[in-house]
Amino acid sequence: MTEEDSSAKMSEDVEQYLKLNPPCSSSSSSSAVAFANKSGTFKSSSPPCPEHVLENVLENVLQFLTSRCDRNAVSLVCKSWYRVEAQTRFEVFIGNCYSLSPARLTHRFKGLRSIVLKGKPRFADFNLMPPNWGAQFAPWVAATAKAYPWLEKVHLKRMFVTDDDLALLAESFPGFKELTLVCCEGFGTSGIAVIANKCRQLKVLDLVESEVTDDEVDWISCFPEGKSHLESLSFDCVESPINFNALEGLVVRSPFLKKLRTNRFVSLEELHRLMVRAPQLTSLGTGSFSPDNAPQGEQLPDYAAAFLACKSIVCLSGFREFRPEYLLAISPVCANLTSLNFSYANISPHMLMPIIRNCHNIRVFWALDSIRDEGLQAVAATCKELRELRIFPFDPREDSEGPVSGVGLQAISEGCRKLESILYFCQRMTNEAVTAMSENCPQLTVFRLCIMGRHRPDHVTGKPMDDGFGAIVKNCKKLTRLAVSGLLTDEAFSYIGEYGKLIRTLSVAFAGNSDKALRYVLEGCPKLQKLEIRDSPFGDAGLRSGMHRYCNMRFVWLSSCVLSLGGCRDVAQALPNVVVEVFGSDGDDDDDTVTGDYVETLYLYRSLDGPRKDAPKFVTIL
């Protein structure tokens, strides 16, 4: 056989192997048998050990597989594939830090360079979980420090991270490049200072919506002298002043810096200076967008010119304390913008119009409801490429005025046909508007509507919002995430269960009439992974109806429903691979244990390593 023939033969064999669908049994003998049957086809003249050949081939092929779903599938084929996949996986995603122990991670994967870890469930953001519940980064940093000295990237969401953790991270990983902390807490500016100082290869330091205590440390000055590798620096959530001169110096020596998100302690004049130093920026968080002092008679900086010079800016955010008279300075970049975040700025329709009129390329737009239905109509008229819209309430109370409504929603649906993701806070809504969106925006994958007044019906017809949400699940066939609100009966949930075929995440609050609603969802929605429910009349029978699937879900959260301890215990006993936690929302009560029968909060999740050992006293693991 010629060389070409044998390599052609080899690739055929590889193809055959890769088409193997059903997983072999995990015993090595059967995989050896399967292999032996095929090994006869290897006819090359000097046959290397077939297993090694296979594994080498696999390694080379698997490097192209980056999707974790694909990799998970590959690892199930047989033990040999499992091994090779584990050796070649460099990025791991852990959606629930309690679903496995750090030891299990380091045992399976030997070559990780990047870790994404998520901790607390989302409802913790809204004060529904007592502090000190858990999700500590400490055991993870300790384990990975030993196992992966070449680790480069850590991305954490809703984890509790201490300054010591950050210090250990900085010391343990000499090649560390990217740190992203989203919705995290437990650390302060001293921890950030250590990262800045010790991680000499740092490219990304992104602090997003995290709580950072002000230790009064000048962390910006802790970046070492000399050229930095920084490409992204986001500290807009840091609520403490920074040393601007040090920041300016840092920007000057960071030629690769593309993304800079400053906090509200950076004034407009200072922003101007930064922009002049870094015209290559693509993403800019503008800080306060408000001048420092009253004009002192000298020439005012030409803000518009600075924006003009930053030709590459495609993403703008900040505007934390903006002054309307300066807003138009951003006009030169509007035509290039793909992302605009006004969600901290009390912008009226009048202020929005001249800006949005030029934003033809916007794909992501976040704003406050201060822009009103009129502003949304302006967005709909211009932003034909819009993919993601988020409208937050300026005044997040149940009985506040409500400047946006179904009118704005419908306008958006008619103008922005490519919309994929929407988060919309309002006081009143109609089934008609929601239905219109379901018909006009078939690409929707995320639909989150928050009617802030609880149990509010359609404000025109007085009927429940069942039909609107029903239309969404029926018409938006790509929908993967849904959050419902308003007056909803069990019928809405029957629609969701039946038509929500791709829904992975469902959020429910103050909705439904009975356990039937929960049953519809748990017996339908085949792809459901994350279920978070609060203040709804769902009890033990509803909970039981999901027993067949809790092992295949990331988590279920039920708070202020009507569950009893006995019902939760039944689930815990029936499903040994599921951890069932119950606790109250108030962690600092004196009583240690749950002895009453009423369960205020149930949080259950699958876990490979059983109940966690770090549960605080107010948590009972059934």
Partner 1 sequence: MEGYSRNGEISPKLLDLMIPQERRNWFHDEKNSVFKKEEKKLELKLGPPGEEDDDESMIRHMKKEPKDKSILSLAGKYFSPSSTKTTSHKRTAPGPVVGWPPVRSFRKNLASGSSSKLGNDSTTSNGVTLKNQKCDDAAKTTEPKRQGGMFVKINMYGVPIGRKVDLSAHNSYEQLSFTVDKLFRGLLAAQRDFPSSIEDEKPITGLLDGNGEYTLTYEDNEGDKMLVGDVPWQMFVSSVKRLRVIKTSEISSALTYGNGKQEKMRR
Instruction: Give CA–CA dist 577/98, Å, rounded.
Output: 12
Would you call 227 helix, strand, or coil by DSSP? coil
Residues 506/485, Cβ–Cβ less than 8 Å? no
Q: How far is the CB of 562 from partner 1 (least distance, A)?
A: 4
**Backbone region of residue 455 per phi and psi (left: phi > 0; alpha: psi in -120 to 50; beta: other values):** left
Q: How far is the CB of 465 from partner 1 (least distance, A)?
A: 11
Instruction: Give CA–CA dist 406/422, Å, rounded.
Output: 13
Q: How far is the CB of 79 from partner 1 (least distance, A)?
A: 45
Q: How far is the CB of 459 from partner 1 (least distance, A)?
A: 11
- Nearer Cβ to partner 1 (129/194): 129
CA-angle at 364, arms to 476 and 344, nearest 5°: 120
- Nearer Cβ to partner 1 (589/614): 589
Amino acid at 320: R
- Nearer Cβ to partner 1 (172/585): 585
- Nearer Cβ to partner 1 (396/526): 396
Q: How far is the CB of 39 from partner 1 (least distance, A)?
A: 58
- Nearer Cβ to partner 1 (90/265): 265
DSSP letters for 351-412: HHHHHHTT-TT--EEEEEGGGHHHHHHHHHHH-TT--EEEEE-SS-STTS-----HHHHHHH
- Nearer Cβ to partner 1 (15/586): 586
Residues in the chain: 622
Residue 125: count of CB within 10 angstroms of its CB: 12
- Nearer Cβ to partner 1 (321/385): 321
Name the nearest CA neighbour of 426 among 463, 461, 465, 388. 465
Say if strands 283-286 and 259-262 run parallel, antiparallel, or are unpaired.
parallel
Residues 467/474, Cβ–Cβ less than 8 Å? no
- Nearer Cβ to partner 1 (176/219): 219
Q: How far is the CB of 413 from partner 1 (least distance, A)?
A: 22
Sign of the C-alpha dihedral computed for residues 174, 178, 184 and 189 taken in this order: positive
**Which residues, 6+ apart, have CB-to-CB distance to 345 below 8 Å?**
289, 319, 320, 322, 367, 368, 370
Q: How far is the CB of 298 from partner 1 (least distance, A)?
A: 16
Residues 80/34, Cβ–Cβ less than 8 Å? no
Q: How far is the CB of 77 from partner 1 (least distance, A)?
A: 42
Q: How far is the CB of 410 from partner 1 (least distance, A)?
A: 22
- Nearer Cβ to partner 1 (358/400): 400
Q: How far is the CB of 131 from partner 1 (least distance, A)?
A: 6
- Nearer Cβ to partner 1 (394/605): 394
Name the nearest CA neighbour of 152 among 111, 105, 209. 111
For 574, the token pair is 């029936």
- Nearer Cβ to partner 1 (89/264): 264
Name the nearest CA neighbour of 367 among 404, 398, 331. 404
Q: How far is the CB of 516 from partner 1 (least distance, A)?
A: 11
Residues 217/244, Cβ–Cβ less than 8 Å? no
The percent helix, strand, coil of the chain (3-state, each to 5) is: 35, 20, 45
- Nearer Cβ to partner 1 (120/177): 120
Residues 292/326, Cβ–Cβ less than 8 Å? no
- Nearer Cβ to partner 1 (497/512): 512
Q: How far is the CB of 243 from partner 1 (least distance, A)?
A: 6
- Report how far Cα 192 is from the mean position of its chain's Cα atoms: 22
Q: How far is the CB of 285 from partner 1 (least distance, A)?
A: 14
**Backbone region of residue 384 per phi and psi (left: phi > 0; alpha: psi in -120 to 50; beta: other values):** alpha
